[in-house]
């Protein structure tokens, strides 16, 4: 729990640095998407500012109208709707990746910002640390 | 490990969390709490039901910070402070309330 961590420890780690999580894989084909989301929630729990980025097949993570229960696995996509409780509000999707895959801007979470490749890249590199999943 | 409910054994992990959250009901919550020598009062139930609802909605057990933030939206400032919650659940609200709510232990929580 966040209360258990003394301030001096978090200060020495990443508290003043911005963290980006870059998602590049589709959900459910592997555990990657779930692991990425868990990582984001851990940072959120410790009040670390964090942004989520979705590019390539990663954009499938946020596309709406998916039903994981049909393949009988835990639908972790539902957890995305709880991101607000972890103060995770910066969520970016690459427009070109949507276009290449013929995907509409139909997402299962609100407050997503769709950015052109250039803006996406620029925004990503404003962060001090990038974790790629 | 198991607990006994109406002559049926219900599987739990080593720390007493149910392995299958669908086997839960409020009687079982009482049993789980009794195992820790905790008597559940109405304020406890408020949190337990809330945590359960959170899990059913988002498919995840809330860690303490998310729990307090979500509780604040529902019950107001006073009942959403970690102090209030720690008074009810001395071993850690997220951890203990999820246990009595029949949910998996939150992975992001001590």
Q: Which residue has the higher pLDDT, A13 or A79?
A: A79
pLDDT tens for each residue of A2-31: 444 444 444 445 456 899 999 999 999 889
To test the contact with chain B by mutation, choose from A45, A78, A88 the residue with the greatest count of B C-beta atoms within 10 A, namely A45
**B60 interfaces chain A, CB cutoff of 8 Å:** yes
- CB nearest to B58's CB, from A44, A79, A87: A79
Given CATH 3.30.70.930, say whether it is the number of domain B2-100.
Answer: no
Minimum mean pLDDT range among A116-120, A121-125, B42-46, B61-65? B61-65
Q: Considering B2, B26, B109, B110, which one is annotated as catalytic?
A: B109
Cite the beta strand spans of chain A per DSSP E: 19-23, 50-54, 90-94, 112-115, 129-132
pLDDT by residue (tens digit) across A90-112? 999 999 999 999 999 999 998 99
Q: What is the pLDDT of residue A16?
A: 63
- Nearest Cβ partner for A82 among B66, B92, B94: B66
Q: What is the pLDDT of residue B107?
A: 66
Contact A78 B65 (CB under 8 A): no
Weakly modelled stretches of chain B, pLDDT under 50: 110
More confident residue, A124 or B5: A124
Q: Which residues of B touch A47 (CB under 8 A)?
A: 65
The full set of domains in chain A, from first to last, is 2-132 (3.40.1260.10)
How are beta strands B2-5 and B8-11 bridged, if at all? antiparallel
Chain B hits for A38, Cβ within 8 Å: 107-108
pTM above 0.80, yes or no: yes
Give domain limits for chain B: 2-100
To 5 degrees, how large is the angle CA A13–CA A10–CA A111? 90
How many other C-beta atoms can be found within 10 angstroms of the C-beta atom of residue B79?
17
Strand partners of residue A22: A53, A132
Interface residue B22 vs chain A (CB under 8 A): no
Average pLDDT, chain A: 88
- For the segment A23-65, what is each residue's pLDDT rounded down to a tens digit? 999 999 889 999 999 999 999 988 889 999 999 999 999 999 8
**C-alpha count within 13 angstroms, C-beta hemisphere, residue B74:** 17
């Amino acid at each position: 729990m966040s209360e258990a961590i003394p301030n001096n420890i978090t200060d020495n780690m990443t508290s003043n640095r911005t963290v980006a999580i870059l998602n590049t894989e589709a959900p459910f084909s592997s555990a990657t998407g779930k692991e990425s989301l868990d990582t984001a929630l851990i940072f959120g729990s410790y009040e670390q500012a964090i942004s989520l980025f979705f590019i390539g097949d990663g954009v499938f993570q946020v596309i709406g109208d998916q039903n994981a229960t049909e393949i009988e696995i835990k639908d972790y996509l539902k957890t995305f709707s709880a991101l607000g409780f972890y103060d995770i509000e910066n969520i970016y999707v690459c427009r070109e990746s949507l276009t290449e895959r013929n995907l509409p801007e139909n997402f299962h979470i609100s407050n997503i910002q769709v950015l052109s490749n250039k803006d996406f890249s620029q925004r990503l590199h404003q962060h001090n640390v990038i974790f790629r999943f | 490990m198991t607990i006994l409910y109406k002559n049926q054994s219900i599987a739990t992990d080593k720390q007493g969390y149910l392995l299958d959250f669908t086997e839960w009901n409020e009687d079982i919550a009482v049993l789980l709490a009794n195992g820790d020598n905790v008597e559940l009062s109405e304020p406890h139930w408020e949190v337990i039901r809330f945590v359960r609802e959170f899990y059913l909605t988002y498919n995840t057990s809330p860690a303490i910070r998310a729990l307090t933030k979500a509780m604040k939206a529902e019950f107001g400032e006073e009942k959403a402070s970690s102090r209030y919650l720690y008074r009810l659940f001395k071993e850690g609200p997220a951890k203990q309330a999820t246990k009595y709510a029949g949910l998996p232990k939150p992975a992001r929580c001590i």
